[in-house]
Structure 1
Amino acid sequence: MRELKILAVVVALTLITYWGVEPFAHSQMHPHVSPANFDFAAADKESAKEGIEKAQKDLADAEKAGVEKNINGAKVTLDEKVEFEKTINAFWATNEEAIKATGDIANGEMLVTTNCTACHSIESKGFPQIMDNATAGSAYGVTPPDLGSAGKLYTKEYLVAFINNPALASKTSHKFVDGKVHPMPGYDWMPAQEVADMVAYLKSIAPNEMTNKEIFTDACQRCHGIKYADMKDGSMSAFTTNADIKNYMGKLPPDLSQHIRSRGVDFLQTFINDPQKQLEGTAMPRVGLSQESQQQVINYLEEVGDSKKAQREELGPKFLIYLVVFAIFAFLWKASRWRDVH
């Protein structure tokens, strides 16, 4: 019976650790955030509202503490949050006309090829890169993407928003202050119908299907590399040089070889969808991927960074069964050998 009591204590402590201590520690290291929301207009309105609520709470705490410097700082932050809510709500309101409009593909082709191909390539339509990746990265801060897959990667709503104002659409407006501007100019001066036409053209030339690697390459590789994963076709370096991307972002973006294991799927789901949820003030832009494209990126990170996941999960139940069987035989052997002593 003594062994059973010891076993019960071990099981109880294990369960307490697994269901109590570990979740609490995880909640402190990774505070709960709202799930990924691919309705970016609704998501931005909600996050702006949450920002005001948090600023109001911080101001109340500062007033309670009575430190004048902190009170003044909290008031400034609250004013900024209130002003930003007005800005972001007005921004999405101005996008509605173009989002609802039916685009003219032919006119969109003319607009895209005359306005966009000075910086962007569209290899699939005969518009190659004007500069190599390193030179383009040096000129713009980050290598501009090829637009051939944009209509596949992003929703119409996000494309409209990004064309109108890239900084607000990607949630990086906090970076572009004091005269700093986003490397891509906004086209909010353009009539809504013409923006809709451009998006219609980008949608029309996008491939119907793309592999997980192709999605990752077009969505992430301009800034991130994969150097240390189990890859048959070799490592992948970021298109933009380390020096240029560090200068543009403020720090060198991480290599994503093992990000799926160090961060986990849940973290990546929310971080890719809206980096500000997990790391407020980060220079990482909201990529704006559709739900399907984002899942393909995560699937690719699992393929290269956690290729043994299926085998590991398959082995788990077998190993637990082995432990149970071994424990039974160990108990029976012990009972047989030590029966006379007890």
Structure 2
Amino acid sequence: MRELKILAVVVVLTLITYWGVEPFAHSQMHPQVDPVNYNFEEADRATSKEAVEKATKALAEAEKKADEKAIKGAKTDLEAAQTFEKTINEFWDANKEAIAATPNVANGEALVTANCTACHSIESKGFPKIMDDATAAGAYGVSTPDLGSSGKIYSKEYLVAFIKNPALGSKVSHKFTDGRVHPMPAYELMNTPQEIADMVAYLQSIAPKEMTNKEVFVDACQRCHGLKYADMQKRTMGAFSPADDITKYMGKLPPDLSQYIISRGEDSLGKFINDPQKLLEGTAMPRVGLNQESQAQVIKYLEEVGDSKKAQREELGPKFLIYLVIFAIFAFLWKASQWRDIH
């Protein structure tokens, strides 16, 4: 009986830790953020509104404490949040015409050829790289992507937003202030909404129908991130942009992603890829802009690289628990038979 009481105490304490203490600690270290949202217009309107509400609350708290320094800082933050909310809402309002336009693919081909191939390759259509990755990174801060798959891995809405204004489309406008400009020009200054719609339609028309998980990762992530353990032979996939250039451009060296599926987990990775600002406000990492299918492929590939034994581990788990239960029963029966007389 005493053993059963001890077991009951251990079970209760374990459950309290698992269902009470651990979730509370996790919530403090990882505050809850909005779930992944692939409707970037909706997400931007919501997050900018939340930023204004947060800044308004901070100002009210500062005024309640009558802290002049805090009040001044809170007013500045509120003005910045209100200005950005107005900017981002006007930006998405302006995108509607290009998103809704009936595109002309032939005109889009001419525009992409004239405007984009000076910096970007489209290998599938016979446009090779003008510069190697190192030279491009030296010129722009980061190597430029091949556009052949962009119509597959990104949504039409994101492509329109990015072509019109890359800094706003990828949520890194906070990096480009005081005269700093995004290395890619904003085509809203050079092309009409109809022309941008045509360019996007062409990129979608040349995109591959299917891509492997690795191909999506290479096109979406490898310009900045490397993988030390890219396969079972531990062959490295280095970032296309040299470390010095990408560090200067981003402010710090982007991490190797080999083990991020384990250290961060699928949920956290998904939220960060979808909108880095939700989890790390002010980060230099842009919103990648992947559609739902492509983001799932990136995460799946990180799982293949960093947690290739996941299926085997999950299959082994229930078997091991069954073994422990059987072992505990035999241990209890053995103990009862050996110590019965002593008790």
Secondary structure of the corresponding residue to residue 239 of structure 2? coil
Whether the 8 Å CA contact 1:147–1:202 is kept in 2: the answer is: yes
Give the equivalent residue in structure 2 for 1:318. 319
| 1:57 CA displacement | 1.4
- In 1: Cα distance, 2:226 partner to 2:102 partner: 38
1:1-342 counterparts in 2 under 5 A?
1-189=1-189, 190-228=191-229, 230-232=231-233, 234-342=235-343
| 1:205 CA displacement | 0.3
- In 1: Cα distance, 2:38 partner to 2:82 partner: 23
Kindly provide the CA deviation profile for residues 129-183 of structure 1, in whole angstroms up to 9, marking residues without a partner as x. 0010000000000001000000001000000000000000000000000000000
| 1:269 CA displacement | 1.0
Unaligned runs of 5+ in 2: none
The CA RMSD measured in Å over matched residues stands at 0.9
| 1:231 CA displacement | 3.7
- In 1: Cα distance, 2:187 partner to 2:333 partner: 78
- In 2: Cα distance, 1:230 partner to 1:210 partner: 18
- In 2: Cα distance, 1:157 partner to 1:204 partner: 15
- In 1: Cα distance, 2:169 partner to 2:290 partner: 12
| 1:233 CA displacement | 7.0
Structure 1 segments, 4+ long, off by >6 Å, are none
Whether the 8 Å CA contact 2:230–2:237 is kept in 1: the answer is: no
- In 2: Cα distance, 1:231 partner to 1:271 partner: 27
- In 2: Cα distance, 1:222 partner to 1:169 partner: 18
Unaligned runs of 5+ in 1: none
Paired residue type of 2:59: L
Indicate the percent of aligned positions where both proteins have the same amino acid. Answer: 74
Kindly provide the CA deviation profile for residues 229-288 of structure 1, in whole angstroms up to 9, marking residues without a partner as x. 544471100000000000000011010010000001110111000000000000000010
Paired residue type of 2:3: E
Paired residue type of 2:150: A
Paired residue type of 1:180: R
- In 1: Cα distance, 2:63 partner to 2:244 partner: 43
- In 2: Cα distance, 1:139 partner to 1:180 partner: 15
Whether the 8 Å CA contact 1:229–1:258 is kept in 2: the answer is: no
TM-score normalised to structure 2 length: 0.98
Cα distance 1:131–1:233, how it changes in 2: closer, same or farther (>3 A)? farther
